[in-house]
Amino acid sequence: MLNTGLISQIADFFATVGTKETLPLIAFFSGGFINLFIPSGGAQWAVQGPAFLEAAQTLGTDPALIVMGVAYGDQWTNIIHPFVLIPLLIMTGLRASQVLSFSFIIFVAATVPLTAGLLLASFLSGGA
């Protein structure tokens, strides 16, 4: 994914449409989306981190908020990512279809506090 340039283009797009207060939230959603294709947090950061940090510097956004946004987005979609379920399915003998519907409910419910907390932190820091 890194060598294709696709993820960098997606991250660059999100970084250009943000403001200094909303860039962490864009990093959150971008991190969540990219996590569906690159499940490794380190590899994901290597792909999108530089683009978002450059945008943060340009916009005057606190880089710590960008790191939090990408990390929270990664963890947010881990709730519905099948790789996370494999140990649970093995231990319980359940099928993925029996668990994913509950995971999706938690995924949707977690969206509000995660995004609200990230926006609140961004506005309280003044974006920088």
Q: What is the pLDDT of residues 63-72, one digit of tens each?
A: 999 999 999 9
Question: Containing domain of residue 63, as a range?
Answer: 6-124
Distance CA 16, CA 23 (A): 9
Q: Is residue 1 part of a domain?
A: no
Dihedral, CA of residue 80, residue 83, residue 89 and residue 95, to nearest 10: 60
Q: Is the pLDDT of residue 127 over 50?
A: no
Top pLDDT among 12 and 127 is at 12
Give the mean model confidence (pLDDT) for residues 96-117. Answer: 90
Residue 68 lies in a domain: yes
| Total-model pTM | 0.82
Report yes or no: 26 and 47 within 8 Å, Cβ to Cβ.
Answer: no
Contact (Cβ atoms closer than 8 angstroms) between residue 14 and residue 30: yes
Residue 111: pLDDT band with limits 50, 70, 90: very high
Q: What is the largest CA-CA distance in the chain?
A: 50
Our count of domains for the chain comes to 1
